[in-house]
Amino acid sequence: MPEAWQQSWESFELKVRSDETGRVYRTSMADFGQHLIAVKGSAPELGAVTRDDVRRYLRDLDKAGKAPATQHMRFRSLRTIFGWLAKEHDIEASPVDGVDAPKLDKPKTTVLKPDEIKALLGTCRARTSTNAAIRRCFGYSSRDLAAARSCRCSSARII
């Protein structure tokens, strides 16, 4: 982390309750500081950091192939830290205000194909001691057996 930022960081660090959260914030600020040093030759005072600095940092994270979740985490960290600095009057305004958050990829939902569903349900027809125990507990319905088997195979709890 740039030397010029250390005092403000130490004040901010006192408010962080979780060691892991503190580590994430410190990593994000240190990486941002290193980026500014690489781009500008030195890290500016915190009050001199601009929106363009933040935008360029996020754009360079993307160009470097950082995962969207990493980009978003770094953005959130900077937003929190600079927001706190602005609230505490260490800086006039947060340079992160007005910067759009990086987009996160939507999680992909896997849908079973009809033959995969048939294979899954076919395992319930097998005459094993496990299936016999499940039948005793849940009845003889194929649907109940399939649901119970799915829960058992996925370690889901049945309440």
Task: Tell me whether residue 96 is in a domain.
Answer: no
Query: Is 83 found in the same domain as 13?
Result: yes
pLDDT in tens, 3-14: 777 788 788 878
Structure tokens at 1: 């982390």
Q: Report d(CA 152, CA 148) in Å as an integer.
A: 6
Q: What is the CA radius of gyration of the chain?
A: 26
91 pLDDT above the threshold of 50: yes
The answer to whether the beta carbons of residues 85 and 12 sit under 8 Å apart is: yes
Query: Is 75 found in the same domain as 15?
Result: yes
**Residues found in the chain:** 159
Query: Is 12 found in the same domain as 72?
Result: yes
The answer to whether the beta carbons of residues 144 and 138 sit under 8 Å apart is: yes
What is the number of domains present in the chain?
A: 2
pLDDT in tens, 17-71: 888 888 898 899 999 999 999 999 988 888 889 999 999 999 999 999 999 999 9
Query: Is 130 found in the same domain as 68?
Result: no
75 pLDDT above the threshold of 70: yes
125 pLDDT above the threshold of 50: yes
The predicted model scores a pTM of: 0.64
The answer to whether the beta carbons of residues 19 and 2 sit under 8 Å apart is: no
Last residue of a domain, one of 41, 70, 87: 87
- Region of residue 21 (left: phi > 0; alpha: psi -120 to 50; beta: else): alpha
Query: Is 120 found in the same domain as 83?
Result: no
CATH number (domain holding residue 61): 1.10.150
Domain that holds residue 135: 114-153
